[in-house]
Each structure stands twice: as structure tokens, then as C-alpha cells.
Amino acid sequence: MIDETTGSSGDGESFLCIILRVGLKDTSTDFFAACFSEFFLTTQLFYDIVWVGIKIRYIPPSLARSFLVSIHKGYRRFIPMKILFVCTGNTCRSPMAEALLKHKVPEAEVQSAGIFAVSHQRPNDHAVEALNQQGVPLDTKSQPVTKSLLHWADLVLTMTTQHKQSLILDFPDFQEKYFTLKEYVSHADRQIWNDLKQQYADYEEKRSQYIQRNQHKMDQHTLHQQLNQHLQSDWEKIQELKAGLINYDISDPFGGSMEIYKTTLEELIKHVNELAKKLYDT
């Protein structure tokens, strides 16, 4: 008999908590060990499998493999990530997104910030009310984007393309973490964004080098004019790449009516739900 609590047989034989010796020669055993820690297999000729308290007796190796693979298709494993949402003032869109994700995935580590945020401001009243009507609490305080926050985050999701571009220019060391929310959940235009990030990096490096070489050779007005001319072709390339992007912006409700905030919230709910799915290995 099998003890379903201890996962051991009556004669003292131990069960393996890793998926081995079940005909999985073409599949990584490490992968299954990570994903199927709930499974216990004996080493007898026919395998007893105990899964979430349900004993399935006498599964031969050939059937065990098919069984485990089919179970894996529905297996959900949370991928822990530290997520930072970014908007302009951190009083509307980004705190709404933060609240939605915390409500949807309580185990996720989430913060929000604003590129031009003033510290310790409360969220917009319309944002609070719109979320309350959905049964989602919102009680955050605004904070600006900082290097320490960007270092903390595994993933930085902006509300608009402009927010993302601002982060690339102001904090280029973290640009591999930057995505718009829509971009991240859709996977579209990934190559264009990669090209654009590289173009921005080249632009900033070229700009910095030109200033270092010439800042003591001309006055500020002349330096500015010459710098613009020097970077003109690079800037045009950036604009060409931007023109090929899909609109990945979450609409800004700031200053709008309650209905406008509800419309923005509906947009956020759709994309945050998609994000929540991506936080699980399905």
C-alpha cells in the first residue's frame, strides 16, 4: 500500500520526487523535477502515481509519460517577478495598473512610479472610485522613477511609448527591462523596438562624445547648433523607426470625467489580465 501523506510504501521503499525511469528519455528530467514536484513515482515494475492526494494505481511507464505530458499542458507555475509600472505623474494609470495586478496576482511584487511624479501624492479621486466599483482597492502614494527603483525591478512596464523612450534616454543602463504594457503582452513589433533601443543608445553615445570633444571649443549656442546638425541623420533614423510602431499607448484620463477614467480602466483591465497570464508558466 502507499501512504499518500508521506509518499512511501509500507515496506519502507522510498518514492522519487523527480520524474525518472518513466520513459522520458527525450525530455529533460530537471524540467519535470521542477514542474512536477507533486508527483511521486515508485521504482517497481508498474508505477503508482500520487497526485494532489489522488492515487492512480498501476501506470506502466509507456502510459505514465503520456499522462505526465498531458497534465503538464494544464500545469500553472508562478514566475516571480518584480514589476514596476511607469506613467507621467503616478496618480492615474500606473497606480491603477499596480492595484489591478496586485488584486489579480497577490503573490506578485509590484510598484508604480512617474517620470515627473511628485512624492507622496494620493491617486486621483476618479481613479480610486473607478477601481472601487470593480472591487479593487487603491491606496498608493506617488513616487518618481529612480535608479534604485529600476535596479529593484525585473520588468518595467510603461503606459506609453513616450514614457519608454524617456526612460531609455534618462536611464539607458536598464533599457533591457523596458516595455510598454501593450507591447509586453502582445509581443508585436519586438524587432522594431530592439532596433530603436540600439539607435537611441548609439544616438546618446554619439551625442556625449561630440559634447566632450567640443564643449571647450565653442560657446553653448554654437555647440547646440552644431550638435543638432551632427545628429540630424541619426534623429531621422529614430523617427523612421518610430513611424513603424503600432500605437502602444494606454489613453491618459488625467483631467477627464469619470467616464473617461472608466474607459482607461477597461483598457488596463484587458492588458493586465494578459500580463497575469504571462506571469504563469502555462
Q: Where are the alpha helices (DSSP H) in the chain?
A: 29-35, 61-72, 93-104, 125-132, 147-152, 161-170, 181-186, 190-214, 220-243, 258-278
Sign of the CA dihedral running 144, 148, 152, 154: positive
Tell me the three cell numbers of residue 255: 483631467
From the number of C-beta atoms within 10 Å of its C-beta (0-12, 13-18, 19+), residue 123 rates as: buried
The residues, any chain, with a CB within 8 Å of residue 156's CB and separated by 6 or more, are 83, 84, 86, 150, 167, 174, 177, 178, 179
Residues with catalytic annotation?
87, 93, 252
